[in-house]
A and B are shown apart, each in its own frame.
Chain A
Amino acid sequence: MANEVCFRNMDQDRPWLLEQYRSRGGYEVLTRILREKTPPESIINEVKASGLRGRGGAGFPTGLKWSFIARNAPGQKYVVCNSDEGEPGTFKDRDVLRYNPHQLIEGMVIAGYAIGATRGYNYIRGEFWEPYERFEAALEEARAAGFLGRDLMGSGFDFELHSHLGAGAYICGEETALLESIEGKKGQPRYKPPFPAHFGLYGQPTIINNTESLASIPVIMEKGGQWFKELGVENSGGSKLFSISGNIKNPGVFEIPLGTPFAELLEMAGGMKNGSKIKAVIPGGSSAPIIPGEQMMQLTMDYDAIAKAGSMLGSGAVIVLDDRNCMVKVLERMSYFYYEESCGQCTPCREGTGWLYRVVHRIETGHGRPEDLALLDDMTTKIAGRTICALGDAAAMPVQGMLKHFREEFEYHITHKRCLVS
């Protein structure tokens, strides 16, 4: 069972058009909610019942997040969609924006209705120019059709939605840095608490959810939370988009029920390229610790199974590596990314990411020292958990994962000044 939620329209021709979306019952859930004046609590309860967990990477229960908002408190509230998809290996939200923008819009309007917000922003990654244009076009269609604007369908409920294009900083995918960026400030995460539910955009109560999470809402409201939940497995309700890439035949985005064996996903992606041997998998975006291939082949794709294996399901970005990859080189590339993308406000991350990269770089280029692995081990414990946002953890975890599973490659590099592989 695939393509039930965000990709349920993938069989259509030009599925991003309003006409196509409506031909399959699009915006009917919203229309019903507005007509029947469905109590917001029941929407939130339905989302809770669905077991939907944040699809951006942290996996926080979406319904619970919504329930933190003081819905009836006076003042402006906001719905913000995080389409800043920047985690290396992740490219699923791009396809939601490209192929199913109306489902996202409908989800955001329902979210706004549920929490009493009349304004929403979709923060789109700076490099997503084409998806941005397509989403903008969908906004125009929705406005013209009366699904956005004042007094929607005579219900008295107003909702306006704007998209905002980022400028290329990975950190702006962190939800509070994203809010700062929308406000026109430098994208730097805020110290929490207070969380956005209390002090969000412009200091007002705000829910901020991932693109895929919000695009799942109309389906959950149409078919029921229980239906959604049963798509998946215990503690991992629903189906999920996985962006799979690496040394495989057909990289791409696949919607599969949570709990599907990894082996099946790999099969869907055409298996290993040129029949090479799987060496390792990064199961949830570059911040997730790496898992050896053999172990991965036994795992199912759900939150608990991956966590038990010492990694994270994260954003569902699966990077598959075959045995021709030098793990030192892989880590060097990843460490460079975090070094480049640290916002610079917290000391351990600002100084530590650069140091991590330099040490890995020196091992890769044959200048490693015997004490370097202990230094890396120690440094990661001083970055992880010591910073305002999770970028510090994200920089530390790949190093820890690599040194746990592929330490001998690093030792070989230091001793022999060259790669163990190739």
Chain B
Amino acid sequence: MSDDQMVTIQVDGRELKAKAGTLLIEVTDAAGINIPRFCYHKKLSIAANCRMCLVEVAKVPKPLPACATPVNEGMQVYTRSPLALAAQKGTMEFLLINHPLDCPICDQGGECELQDIALGYGNDASRFVEGKRVVPDRDIGPLIATDFTRCIHCTRCVRFGAEIAGIRELGATGRGEHMEIGTYIEKSVDSELSGNIIDICPVGSLTSKPFLYSARAWELVQRKSIAPHDSVGSSLNLHVRRNQVMRVHPRDNEAVNECWISDRDRFSYEGLYSADRLTRPLVKKSGNWVETDWQEALEAVAQGLKRARGTSGNRLGALLSPGATLEEFYLAQKLMRGLGSENIDFRLRQSDFRAEEPAYPWLGQTIAQLDELNAALLIGSNIRKEQPILGHRLRKAALTGAQISFINPLELELNYHATQLVNSPAGMISDLAAVAKALGGYGGLIDSAEVSDVHHRLAEQLRTAERATVLLGNIAVAHPDYALIQGLARIIAGNSGSLLGYLPEAANSVGGRLAGALPGNDGSNAQEMLSNPHKGYLLMGVEPGFDCWNPARAMETLGQAEFVAALSAFRSQSLEQVADVILPIAAFAETSGTYVNAQGEWQSFSGAVAPAGESRPAWKVLRVLGNLLDLPGFDQVSSEEILAEARQVAGDRKPDNSADGGVAYERLLAGVGLTRIGDVPIYALDPLVRRAASLQKTRDAIEASSRINAREAAMAGLADGDKVVVKQDKNSAKLRVVIDPTVPDGCVRIPAGLVGTDTLGGQIGDVTLEKA
């Protein structure tokens, strides 16, 4: 029987058609026939262990599990016959004998699969009169609360770890009724996707620790939203109570996030309620910050910008967060252009702007297409932590045989087999040139490249694969020779027949370009604005100490300005040091807007809660500023109106990776001494996630430190735990030494975006270490 042959089966007398071999539960689910189940999950392997979905199949004496029974022609199924019901009710009785009756205090209460199904299949009284099993809870980290007494041993969480997260962090130990879910040895669950086990746990064994005992499911109102961090733009459901986001769940979107979300998207909402949330406008008076009303603050901004502008708009610059909405980008650039300034940028973590960049860099393919790749080369990307869902997609491809390789300055902890070429940032350029040469590229530094076996192998993998891609990640963008990387990547992709793709850093890096939030003719880009002091600046959603490629220089440059106006959802030390007025704006979940994700999809969302305190959506703030500055075209009354205008201006501009870039650039990074690798850790990406308390307690939230391998440490006479003074340009920081074998020779990993490294220079550049 061929696999795509259609068969007809009968379920409870209803005729259904399905592909032969499809699992019965999939057929009945599609037809809306409800069969109770616990262990079955559409994205996980079949375990058939809960025995809840037993149904009667004609001519088979025993009831069969619908989750593990393939359909065949003429099959007659009875889901509610006496045999089926007896089996289902029997299983339910067994499930309940040892399950605690603590539904009133269980966070799963009201949204519990066991509770729901028990209503239909359980008895009103138990025949079990013995003592119930008690299982000790385990501390598996700051995100997930455990109550293993409630566990029904469906093993969804175990299979999730093995199959989706790609790390077996949880397992079942012990036999019979002594079987327990746990980590075996004392340890935390650290996957960047770990929170999904909260959703797939059918009972209250695994619940959200930050949400623990804070609300009942039935008090929550569900509102749709889009995730605000990476460029996946995962679909979210925000659960709101009394104008507060209580928790975040994924919303099924097969084309984007399937049914998963990253922990960053799930738990960053905590940042909304951090102590340093800004709720009233602030103005600096004689060096002191004073709370004020909107009227005064807005007028101060309008006056300040006007004064700084003087006779030329070119004296003003705008630095915008790549996590701003498309509407905010659009109005901000309109405001700046209205004032005669073309100095607008959101590419705050890029230092090398020499290359002609594509008009709208994007993934170059759909997110779902990543699953189908046969080969991929990732350049300067820790995709797993930068874009967890894309990392998961790539892993799926790897598991079906795709050859994945990386050229990075750090060895990554991957959850699939891949080739990792780990070299210093300067060495990365040589590796890329060698791969380009192996593919027949020529010119500039390619001609002098030395091609080794591994370069040939990477080249061949891309060249021979039916579907191959070359992707540029965050570390590539931060590279001082990003222009060269782009040129080399273009040659590698072109000569190997691979798609060139960009992994946009933030939720709206693509949208920022479509909204025109880039420097116009003769305008200054972010680095120029942050190197050459302008008279006045407009900052939106930016913390200069943490969000810029070179925080020390950014602080110094902004400090020299006459006037800095900032729109911010948070109080921030580095912002308060340089700004003159800070206007409180709505954060994630508090405003409507649009994000354009990596695959170029415009995703609009509504606000789920009112902005905190007196803060206002940034688009409203910008519109009023436009009015106060007497600029035309600031009369929109809704974000939809702005979106319509932005769409019209964007016209038929589509994400597009084509450009004429070559490799005729001088190498700026010599890499002779020690090179700093300043990657941005997963939970340091933006102001919101930096304030998400629980995420900051995870293993991935690494502290500011100076990480070198044992060889380099020995040469410098340093040991793990020593204090060193790191000097970069004229800046310094005192940091702890951590011996880290993932860092290549000649390099020191000093992550960016963290308190303690914000006094240093560029993310990638020369540094020296001295024992303190």
A residues near B, CB below 8 A? 169, 171, 186, 191, 339-355, 358, 375, 381-382, 385-388
Q: Which residues from chain B contact A387 at a C-beta distance below 8 Å?
A: 51
Q: Find chain B residues with CB under 8 A from A339 CB.
A: 176-177
Q: In the complex the two chains form, what is the Cα distance from A340 to B171 in whole Å? A: 20
B174 contacts partner chain A, Cβ-Cβ < 8 Å: yes
- Whether a CB of chain A sits under 8 angstroms from the CB of B455 is no
Quick check: A388 and B49 within 8 Å, CB to CB? Answer: yes
Taking a contact as CB atoms under 8 Å apart, the answer to whether A341 and B152 are in contact is no
**How many angstroms from the CA of A385 to the CA of B56 in the assembled complex?**
12
Contacts of A349 on B, CB cut-off 8 Å?
A: 176
Instruction: Tell me if B176 and A191 are in contact (CB < 8 A).
Output: no
Cβ B49 vs Cβ A342 within 8 A: no
Given contacts A382-B91, A385-B61, 17 further A-B contacts (CB under 8 A): A171-B175, A191-B46, A191-B47, A340-B175, A343-B176, A344-B153, A344-B178, A345-B49, A348-B51, A350-B94, A350-B179, A351-B95, A351-B98, A351-B177, A353-B177, A355-B128, A386-B91
Does B174 lie within 8 Å of A382, measured CB to CB?
no
Chain A residues with Cβ under 8 A from B61's Cβ? 385
- Is A347 a contact of B94 with CB atoms below 8 Å? yes
Query: In this assembly, does B172 line the interface, its C-beta being within 8 Å of a C-beta of chain A?
Result: yes
Q: Which residue of A lies closest to B99 (CB)?
A: A351
> How far does the alpha carbon of A137 sit from the alpha carbon of B736 in the complex, in Å?
58
Question: For residue B91, which residues in chain A have a CB less than 8 angstroms away from its CB?
Answer: 347-348, 382, 386
A386-B54 contact, Cβ under 8 Å, with A191-B48, A345-B153: yes
Return A409 CB to nearest CB of chain B, in Å: 22
| Nearest chain B CB to A336 CB, angstrom units | 11
B residues less than 8 Å from A352 (CB atoms): 94
- In the bound assembly, the distance between CA atoms of A350 and B97 in angstroms comes to 11
Minimum CB distance partner of A359 in chain B: B130
Give the complex CA separation of A352 and B68 in angstroms.
Answer: 22
Measured between beta carbons, the chain A residues less than 8 angstroms from B51 are: 346-348, 386-387
Minimum C-beta distance from B428 to chain A (A): 38
Contact in complex: A347, B46 (CB < 8 Å): no
Q: Which of A186, A342, A381, A386 contacts B176 (CB 8 A)?
A: A342
- Least CB distance, A191 to chain B, in whole angstroms: 4
13 A–B contact pairs at CB < 8 A?
A: A171-B175, A191-B46, A191-B65, A339-B176, A341-B175, A344-B174, A344-B177, A345-B179, A351-B94, A351-B97, A351-B177, A358-B130, A382-B87
* B-side contacts of A382, CB under 8 Å: 86-87, 90-91, 93-94
Known contacts A385-B63, A388-B48: A355-B90 contact under CB 8 Å: no
On whether A348 and B178 interact (CB within 8 A), knowing A355-B130, A385-B63, the answer reads: no
Mask, B167-207, CB within 8 Å of A = 1, is: 00001101111110000000000000000000000000000
For the complex of A and B, the 7 pairs showing the least CB-CB separation, nearest first, are: A382-B90, A344-B179, A342-B176, A351-B94, A385-B62, A345-B49, A191-B48
Nearest Cβ on chain A to B24's Cβ, whole angstroms? 14
> Known contacts A346-B49, A346-B51: does B177 contact A386 (CB below 8 Å)?
no
Which partner residue on chain B sits nearest A186 by CB separation? B172
Q: Chain B 114-138 against A: per-residue CB contact (8 Å), 1 yes, 0 no?
A: 0000000000000110100000000
* CB-contacts of B526-546 with A (<8 A): none
A249 vs B98: C-alpha distance in the bound complex, in angstroms? 45
Q: Give Cα A191 to B40, complex, Å.
A: 13
A262 to B764, CA, bound (A): 86
Query: In the bound complex, what is the Cα–Cα distance between A171 and B175 (angstroms)?
Result: 10
B172–A344 touching, CB < 8 Å: yes
Decide yes or no whether B52 CB sits under 8 A from chain A: yes
Given the contacts A191-B68, A375-B127, A354 and B176 also touching, CB distance less than 8 Å:
yes
Contact between B128 and A347, CB atoms less than 8 A apart: no
Q: Are A353 and B176 in contact (CB under 8 A)?
A: yes
Choose from A171, A340, A347, A385 the contact partner of B49 (Cβ within 8 Å): A347
- Tell me which residues from 48 to 70 in chain B have a Cβ below 8 Å from any Cβ of chain A: 48-52, 54, 61-63, 65, 68
Contacts of B152 in A (CB 8 A): 347
> Chain A contacts of B62 at CB under 8 A?
385-386
Most A CB contacts (10 A, CB to CB) among B51, B87, B90 go to B51
Question: Which chain A residue shows the least CB distance to B68?
Answer: A191
Q: How far, in angstroms, from A359 to B155 measured CA to CA in the complex?
A: 28
Q: Is the beta-carbon distance between A169 and B94 smaller than 8 angstroms?
A: no
Q: Tell me the smallest distance from the CB of B158 to a CB of chain A, in Å.
A: 10
Give a binary string over B642-672; 1 marks a CB under 8 Å from any A CB, 0 the rest: 0000000000000000000000000000000
Residue of B68, B153, B172, B174 near A347 (CB, 8 A) is B153
B176 near A340: Cβ-Cβ < 8 Å? yes
Chain B: minimal CB distance from A283 (Å)? 23
Nearest-neighbour CB distance to chain B for A405, whole angstroms, equals: 24
Does the CB pair A350–B46 fall under 8 Å? no
Determine which residue in B65, B68, B171, B175 has the highest number of CB atoms from chain A within 10 A of its CB, and name it. B175
- When distances are taken between beta carbons in the complex, the residues of chain B under 8 Å from A355 are 94, 97, 128, 130
> What is the bound-complex CA distance between A339 and B130, given in angstroms?
15
Nearest CB on B from A399, distance (A): 15
Complex contact A343–B127 (CB within 8 A): no
CB atoms of A348 and B48 under 8 A apart: no
Q: With CB as the reference atom, state the residue of chain A lying closest to B49.
A: A345
**A386, B83: Cα distance in complex, Å:** 11
Docked complex Cα distance between A344 and B86 (Å): 21
Contact B177 A350 (CB under 8 A): yes
Taking a contact as CB atoms under 8 Å apart, the answer to whether B175 and A169 are in contact is yes
Q: B175 and A386: CB pair below 8 A? A: no
Neighbouring B residues of A186 by C-beta, 8 Å: 171-172
| One of A169, A347, A381 near B52 (C-beta < 8 A) | A347
Contact A386 B153 (CB under 8 A): no
Name the A residues within 8 Å of B155 (CB-CB): 345
Task: Please give, as numbers and ranges, the residues of chain A lying within 8 Å of B95 by CB-CB distance.
Answer: 347, 351
CA–CA, A345 and B93, complex, Å: 16
Report the bound CA distance from A83 to B95 in whole Å.
34
CA distance A345 to B39 in the complex (A): 11
Q: A388 contacts which chain B residues (CB < 8 A)?
A: 48-49
- A198: min CB distance to chain B, Å: 14
Output the least CB separation between A422 and chain B (Å). Answer: 28
CA of A351 to CA of B151, assembled, Å: 12
Query: Would A344 and B175 be within 8 Å (CB), given that A350-B153, A386-B51 are in contact?
Result: yes
Chain B residues whose C-beta falls within 8 Å of the C-beta of A354 in the assembled complex: 176-177
B50: A residues at CB distance < 8 A:
346-347
Give the distance in Å from the alpha carbon of A211 to the alpha carbon of B128 in the complex.
41
Closest CB of chain B to A61's CB: distance in Å? 20
A341 cross-chain contacts in B, Cβ below 8 A: 175-176
- Complexed CA–CA distance, A382 and B47 (Å): 20
Report B-chain residues with C-beta under 8 Å of the C-beta of A343. 175-176, 179
Smallest beta-carbon distance B150→chain A, Å: 14
Q: B309-344: which have CB < 8 Å to A? A: none
* B65 neighbours in A (Cβ, 8 Å): 191
> Given the complex of chains A and B, what is the CA–CA distance between A344 and B173 in angstroms?
10
By a CB distance below 8 angstroms, the chain A residues around B93 are 382
Contacts of A344 in B (CB 8 A): 153, 172, 174-179
Within the assembled complex, what's the spacing in Å between the Cα atoms of A171 and B127?
A: 28
Which residue of chain B is the closest to A393 with respect to CB atoms? B62
Query: Measured between alpha carbons, how far is A385 from B86 in the docked complex, in Å?
Result: 12
- Expressed in whole angstroms, the Cα–Cα distance for A186 and B130 within the complex equals 29
A343 CA / B176 CA spacing, docked (Å): 5
* B130 partner residues in chain A, CB cutoff 8 A: 355, 358
Alpha-carbon distance A352/B177, docked complex (angstroms): 9
Cβ-neighbour of A386 out of B46, B63, B98, B171 (below 8 A)? B63
B66-114, CB < 8 A from A: 68, 86-87, 90-91, 93-95, 97-98
Cβ–Cβ < 8 Å partners of A350 in chain B: 94, 153, 176-177, 179
Q: CA of A341 to CA of B179 in the docked complex: distance in angstroms? A: 11
Closest Cβ of chain A to B675, distance in Å, is 42
- Identity of the chain A residue whose Cβ is nearest the Cβ of B128 in the assembled complex: A355
Chain B residues whose C-beta falls within 8 Å of the C-beta of A381 in the assembled complex: 86, 90
Which chain B residues numbered 439 to 473 have a C-beta less than 8 Å away from chain A?
none
Closest residue of A by beta carbon distance from B48 = A191
**Distance of B100 from chain A, by nearest CB (Å):** 14
A382 to B63, CA, bound (A): 11
